[in-house]
Structure 1
Amino acid sequence: MFSRRMDPPSSKSFSKSHKVSKSSSSFSKSHGVSKSRHESRRRPTTANSSSRATSTDISMTTSMSMSPNNALTPSIVTLIIGKDQRIFAAHEDVLCASPWFQKTLSDQYRDSQNSKRIHLPDEEPEIFSSVLEYLYKGDYYPRLVHNKRKNSWEIEKLDDDDKGSNEATIYHHGIDGDILKDTVIYCTAEKYGLEELKRVSLRKQGLQSGIQCSTILASARYAYANTPDTDSKLRAHYLALIIRSRSTFKRSGTMQLEMYNGGTQLFFDLFVALSNHVDDISNTS
């Protein structure tokens, strides 16, 4: 599999029954958030520069490790990703683990002998590279590892040379700003019907720390815009995070501006979640 640049051609709310999840997938209280208003603006990155495992690494490693009885078919699909039209390639068998790709390939190429190509102009190359890495390897960089001594899950420790690539946020062209990478991966997995990838990405973002208030709110807006109203995991994850970090949000002023702007169901759900939280405290006192 490879990636190169191609020259461009001419509603349900959270009711009492939807109490905020207290699972380990949420940000822990000790992690907290940063209230700094001076977020660094990073230039957009590409899959080649920001992903630990490139598309070529993924396909070659997997193909060579397959046993003869479980070998992948030679059918290759070309994927043209993002506004810059980055080109990826993947085995059709691997892509069809996703119901979305399975249906798309079946509908478009049922009787065709032509080369199979899928255009995804709204996807971020870095995110799609992570999705492909998951499809081939069962995880994406940096990996989720189990600490047997502590009996807990952690994001893998990186070498000094790799620390710069382990950023929790990415620049997203769709919102012209930074949001949590794992949230975008979760929403992409939702689109492609990859339930296990949703669980992996949710656990990973629960292990992130030091995320600034404005980034959290931008990520929450993105989560609400790209998940169905029935989603009770990613949305609840953000509601729980905001509740636990309420004192920081009060001091930052970011939440006040966000509420003035409005535009999503986020704040009604947050009101219900806060009410449930107060009820829980009252019932235990």
Structure 2
Amino acid sequence: MVDADEIIDEVVGDEEMGEATGLDPTEAVDADDEPTGLEDIEPDVPERTTFLDYLRSPIIQLVVGQGAEQTTLSAHQALLTKSPWFAAQVDVFSKTTTTPRTIDLANDDLQATSSVLEYLYKSDYYPRMTGTQSMEYDTTVPQPDNDGIGLLRHARVYSLAQRFGLPALASMAHRKITLTQSTARGEIAYARFVYTETSPDDITIRKPVAHFWATRSHVLRHEAEAEFKRMCLEFPQFGYDVLSLVLDQQEKRSARAEAQSTAPASGRKRQRVSGIVP
């Protein structure tokens, strides 16, 4: 039989030990709650956005074109907001519940806008890239392409990508421009679009256009002289850019010719001709 005095002595002893150590003897120490020292070095894993998350986002209506040509396209908000320009438009919707979720693109090209949406969903647009230096054959472009349809298609995508803040798409469209075949008249149509729709500071797309015509004077004389003349009169900056490159090339040729004419003579002696007649 257990003595009551012994039980009391044990309880009092446990309490005194708890006071000495600062621990509550009634609380058990859980080893899992103790710090391991690894809390600060464990990486934070970012939350992954899945394609399903994009599809669950609200639908935005894009009204493209005007009059009889007006068309309404639909796109998921989470994909559209990859573009800073579209993100700013969508931000208006979050501030008011009365505004319809519609974005007006009355002055934009339907085909180019569709290509932008295709890129946002698929990371490419038709005709798709098949390598770093090749792309699909575009069956919708006539051959020969005297109207520059293929070049203008990618140029319009480039212009929209610049406006919507999608530099990767702009780079892709520019790459497709360099891979597109055309004719002299098609190139003039493309040059007219570039000098009408792009910023004078955008040398990425403007300089290659001027360089193309500066290095192809034989094409101008035989295939598109009249169109080239009209282009220069309509866009003096285009004529100036081409002339500047032509003059630069002429200066380089002159400098090379001058360097060759002033080069020091060879140190080898000229062969002496004997005066003896056989």
User: TM-score, length-normalised on structure 2?
Assistant: 0.65
Change (3 A) 1:258 1:225: closer
1:14-51 Cα shifts (integer Å, max 9, x gaps): xxxxxxxxxxxxxxxxxxxxxxxxxxxxxxxxxxxxxx
1:124-164 Cα shifts (integer Å, max 9, x gaps): 11111111111111111111121xxxxx510125xxxxx63
Structure 1 residue 237 and structure 2 residue 208: aligned?
yes
Structure 1 residue 165 and structure 2 residue 140: aligned?
yes
Question: Amino acid of the residue matched to residue 179 of structure 2?
Answer: L
Structure 1 residue 213 and structure 2 residue 196: aligned?
no
Structure 1 residue 153 and structure 2 residue 125: aligned?
no
Structure 1 residue 75 and structure 2 residue 48: aligned?
no
Change (3 A) 1:200 1:282: farther
Q: Measure the CA separation in 1 of the matches of 2:95 and 2:246.
A: 51
Structure 1 residue 258 and structure 2 residue 231: aligned?
yes
**Equivalences for residues 106-255 of structure 1 within 5 A:** 106-107=91-92, 109-112=94-97, 114-146=99-131, 153-157=133-137, 164-166=139-141, 180-209=152-181, 211-252=182-223, 253=225, 254-255=227-228
Q: Measure the CA separation in 1 of the matches of 2:60 and 2:240.
A: 43
Contact 1:182 1:201 in 2 (8 A): yes
Tell me whether 83-92 or 106-115 shows the greater mean CA deviation. 106-115
Shift of residue 72, structure 1, vs aligned partner: 4.3
Contact 2:60 2:101 in 1 (8 A): yes
Q: Measure the CA separation in 2 of the matches of 1:93 and 1:267.
A: 44
Q: Measure the CA separation in 1 of the matches of 2:94 and 2:173.
A: 31
Task: Determine which structure has greater relative contact order: mean sequence separation of CA pairs < 8 Å that are 6+ residues apart, divided by chain length.
Answer: 1
Q: Tell me what 2:7 maps to.
A: none
Unaligned runs of 5+ in 1: 1-64, 147-151, 158-162
Q: Measure the CA separation in 2 of the matches of 1:104 and 1:264.
A: 36
Q: Measure the CA separation in 2 of the matches of 1:99 and 1:214.
A: 36
Q: Measure the CA separation in 2 of the matches of 1:141 and 1:277.
A: 37
Please say which structure displays the higher CA radius of gyration.
2
Contact 1:80 1:118 in 2 (8 A): yes
Contact 1:170 1:180 in 2 (8 A): no
More strand by share: 1
Shift of residue 258, structure 1, vs aligned partner: 2.7
Q: Measure the CA separation in 2 of the matches of 1:67 and 1:99.
A: 20
Paired residues in the alignment total 204
Q: Measure the CA separation in 1 of the matches of 2:147 and 2:164.
A: 21
Change (3 A) 1:181 1:67: closer
1:166-186 Cα shifts (integer Å, max 9, x gaps): 5597989xxxx9962111111
Contact 1:190 1:227 in 2 (8 A): no
Shift of residue 262, structure 1, vs aligned partner: 2.3
Q: Match for 1:281 among 235, 253, 258?
A: 253
Contact 1:77 1:90 in 2 (8 A): yes
Shift of residue 109, structure 1, vs aligned partner: 4.9
Segments of 4+ moved more than 6 angstroms: 168-172
User: What secondary structure, in the 3-state scheme, does the structure 1 residue paired with 2:60 have?
Assistant: strand
1:45-102 Cα shifts (integer Å, max 9, x gaps): xxxxxxxxxxxxxxxxxxxx9456x544421100111121111000111111111111
More helix by share: 2
Question: Amino acid of the residue matched to residue 129 of structure 2?
Answer: L
Unaligned runs of 5+ in 2: 1-48, 258-278
